[in-house]
Structures are given as structure tokens and as C-alpha cells.
Structure 1
Amino acid sequence: MERGYLNVEQAAEYLNTSVRFIRRIVAERRIAFHKVGSHVRFKLEDLEAFVQAGRVEPITRTTYLGRAA
């Protein structure tokens, strides 16, 4: 892991997911990546941004009832 860039296998390990999933989100252009010749590389910041974009807030009593408690 030089200068904060990861290859596909390292990105899959970092996100605790499969290589196949990483390749799919790259093909669907759902994550930012860098092309170095024929190689795909990811910045740690881009992986974190992808994870944060999928964040779902928990339901609270206020949001469930649609009014102030």
C-alpha cells in the first residue's frame, strides 16, 4: 500500500467484501477509482466516501411518528 492507493484485492480486504463486489461497483461507476494503465487503484479517502454514502440513519421515535416527541 504505497501512498494510500490500494489495488482491487486490497480494497476488497479493506471493505471486508469480495473482489467480485469491488469489480462490480467499478463497472457500474458507483465508486471513484484511478486507472493506471490497465490497473485500477483506489484512494483510501474514496473508499471511505463510498462507505459513508451508504450510511443509513436509525429510526427514532420522532422520525417514526413524524413529529416532535
Structure 2
Amino acid sequence: MLQVNPKMLPRLAEIEKDLILRRKRAEDEQWLGEIEGIDMTLTFVRTKQADAARTARRTTVLLGLPGPRPSNG
């Protein structure tokens, strides 16, 4: 699955804004098929925004470098 970099959140917001404007125009022009397609794309964009925001909230865990096991003896 493709993960969106959290740095792309502003771009996703731009895309969402543009889609909302395109949907309004499609409603005004009564382009029913276009509205359905835009709604699907909006759902996808909003899901990606939520995924990217969730990724941005995660903290990094440093596990260190593996080393040799201590010997018992």
C-alpha cells in the first residue's frame, strides 16, 4: 500500500479544495457521472490525509544496533 509522506498534507488539502470546487461546478451543470467520480476521489484523498496525519503523530523508536550475545560461562 502506498503511504503518503506527512509533508504532503498541504498539497492534499489543495487537491481537496479543488475537488470541492469541481464538484460544485458539476452540480451546477448537472453532470451526475462527474459528481460520482469526484465523490470517490474525495473519499480517497480524505483517507490519505488521515493516514498521513496518523503517520506524522507516530514517534520514532530507536532500537540500536545489534551486537553479539553475552556468553554464559
TM-score greater than 0.5 by the shorter chain: no
Larger radius of gyration: 2
Question: Of the two structures, which has the highest relative contact order with CA contacts closer than 8 Å and spacing of 6 or more?
Answer: 2
Structure whose residues are more often helix by fraction: 2
Structure whose residues are more often strand by fraction: 1
- TM bucket (normalised to shorter chain) is 0.3 to 0.5
